[in-house]
Amino acid sequence: MAAPEERDSPTEASQPVMEEEETKTFKDLGVTDVLCEACDQLGWTKPTKIQIEAIPLALQGRDIIGLAETGSGKTGAFALPILNALLETPQRLFALVLTPTRELAFQISEQFEALGSSIGVQSAVIVGGIDSMSQSLALAKKPHIIIATPGRLIDHLENTKGFNLRALKYLVMDEADRILNMDFETEVDKILKVIPRDRKTFLFSATMTKKVQKLQRAALKNPVKCAVSSKYQTVEKLQQYYIFIPSKFKSKRLGSLNKFKAKARSILLATDVASRGLDIPHVDVVVNFDIPTHSKDYIHRVGRTARAGRSGKAITFVTQYDVELFQRIEHLIGKKLPVFPTQDDEVMMLAERVAEAQRFARMELREHGEKKKRSREDAGDNDDTEGAIGVRNKVAGGKMKKRKGR
């Protein structure tokens, strides 16, 4: 990270914060009518605490440090002021949002496009794991908003002809603590050097680490700190339980994020990559298959449910080897968690049924594989059936070539 310039330390909000009960709509915060309508269409009936604090200050042109618990509505807290400003001064390549993961990048893009659909906002997601050429074409169209992971953005800044961010007006660093923990310091430093100093900057983080403090001093000008939670805690509407279970009886589940978000699958099995940032409103239950070794990670995991005022449940599997870790979590959140009520006999009976179903499934797969093998052997290499001849015709350009005599 480059040596930070001297900045004023962040000030607290310079105006009385409106109470959530008094703020009925986003219009009360200063958001323009067309964006208020978009909020209504998304089901955002009233602003969250971080939005109440951050949006009015952002609309005044202040740099923001937002510290808020997971699921607090941080994306809306920076997306609405940016879109509000874009309406006043339309410009391509208007804002850059840096995120630590590709999953979070796509989610933020979806929210920007949903909020800005009626005003024609275009965004581009620039992340690793996707073809660079298609991303270069998207950047050539000069979208209004770029959402990127730092590494892939640097790659385009250095190698994509004609692409630069010299006219950028807004920079957002979302989940800043994770960006820095993933060793993106060098990339962030390079980005800060090639974007205008005369810009607005929003830094959002779940925790204020030493690295985040250093980044704040280097990147923000006289920022205002908006913190809606000063200690680690879980939301009140989240019902938390644990199940004591012998290690050998943990169940296995498979799924994919997109199918889960589309409600095509009812169960999602995920690593800690999904513990922060992902906002899927219909998550009813979070099951902690393994207890996190870092207690704070528990806060982020269970925060995937009971979001934006909704209720939810979190159930943690506790084996005989996990008691100490579980007690640390209880100490962190300041409460004793109750046992989730289960009927052990019914559970063990279901476990037997699952094991039997797995045995039959393996037998069927083995038999299916043997049938396919026999059918290939019976067909042989000289398959002159109508289907095979048709394939050869296509390969030969529609004409069967005559073999030359020897």
pLDDT tens by residue, 320-353 = 878 888 888 888 888 888 888 888 888 888 888 8
Across the chain, mean pLDDT equals 79
- Reported as a pLDDT band with limits 50, 70 and 90, residue 250 is very low
198 confidence band (pLDDT: 50, 70, 90): very high
Task: Determine the pLDDT at residue 184.
Answer: 86
pLDDT of residue 171: 96
Whether residue 177 sits in one domain with residue 76: yes
- Give the residue from 227, 259, 278 where a domain finishes: 227
Asked, for residue 331, whether it belongs to a domain, the answer is yes
Please indicate, yes or no, whether residues 20 and 90 belong to a single structural domain of this protein. yes
206 shares its domain with 139: yes
Q: Is 377 exposed, middle or buried (0-12, 13-18, 19+ CB in 10 A)?
A: exposed
Mean pLDDT lowest among 180-184, 286-290, 299-303, 363-367: 299-303
Measured between alpha carbons, how far is 316 from 305 in angstroms, rounded to an integer? 14
- Among 178, 198, 227, the domain boundary falls at 227
Kindly state whether residue 2 falls inside one of the protein's structural domains.
Answer: no
Q: Is the pLDDT of residue 249 over 70?
A: no
What integer is the mean pLDDT of 109-122? 91
Is there a domain that residue 71 lies in? yes
In the sheet that 123-126 helps form, which strands lie side by side, from edge to edge?
A: 11-12, 224-227, 64-67, 200-205, 170-173, 95-98, 145-148, 123-126
Residues 306 and 363 in one domain: no
CB 46 within 8 A of CB 256: no
Confidence band of 252 (pLDDT split at 50, 70, 90): very low
Tell me what pLDDT residue 27 has: 93
Question: Does one domain contain both 312 and 359?
Answer: no
Higher pLDDT, 349 or 1: 349
Name the pTM for this structure: 0.59
Name residues whose C-beta falls within 8 Å of residue 47's C-beta, 6 or more positions apart in sequence: 20, 23, 25, 26, 29, 55, 73, 76
Tell me what the mean pLDDT of segment 289-304 comes to: 76
- Asked if 181 and 45 sit in the same domain, the reply is yes
- Domain membership of residue 232 (yes or no) is no
Co-location of 258 and 139 in the same domain: no
* Confidence (pLDDT) at 390: 44
- Residue 211 domain-assigned? yes
> Are 123 and 160 in a shared domain?
yes
| pLDDT for res 37 | 93
Same domain, 201 and 252: no
What CA–CA distance (Å, rounded) separates 98 from 147?
6
Confidence bin at 300 (pLDDT 50/70/90): confident
What pLDDT sits at residue 327?
85
pLDDT bucket at 274, cuts 50 / 70 / 90: low
Q: Identify the pLDDT of residue 319.
A: 84
User: What domain range is 297 assigned to?
Assistant: 238-342
Q: Within this chain, do residues 42 and 189 fall inside the same structural domain, yes or no? A: yes
If you ran DSSP here, which 8-state letter would residue 274 be given? G
pLDDT confidence bin for 297, thresholds 50/70/90:
confident
Is 185 found in the same domain as 73? yes
CA dist 274 → 15, 67, 178, 257 (Å): 36, 20, 13, 9
The reply to whether 6 falls in a domain is no
How much is the average pLDDT of 225-244?
66
Q: What is d(CA 30, CA 77) in angstroms, rounded to the nearest whole number?
A: 12
The pLDDT of residue 281 is 67
pLDDT score at 11: 63
Q: Does the pLDDT of residue 293 top 80, yes or no?
A: no
What is the total count of domains within the chain? 3
pLDDT band at 165 (very low <50, low <70, confident <90, very high): very high
Given a cut of 90, whether residue 368 has pLDDT beyond it is no
Does position 230 have pLDDT exceeding 80, yes or no?
Answer: no
Q: How confident is the model at residue 61 (pLDDT cuts 50, 70, 90)?
A: very high
Residue type, 284: D
The answer to whether residue 400 is domain-embedded is no
Do 115 and 79 meet the contact criterion of CB atoms below 8 Å apart? yes
Last residue of a domain, one of 169, 200, 227: 227
Cross-strand partners of 239: 313
Could you tell me if residue 233 is inside a domain? Answer: no
Same domain, 243 and 211: no
Spell out the residues 6+ positions from residue 36 whose beta carbon is closer than 8 angstroms to its own.
25, 26, 27
CATH number, position 330: 3.40.50.300
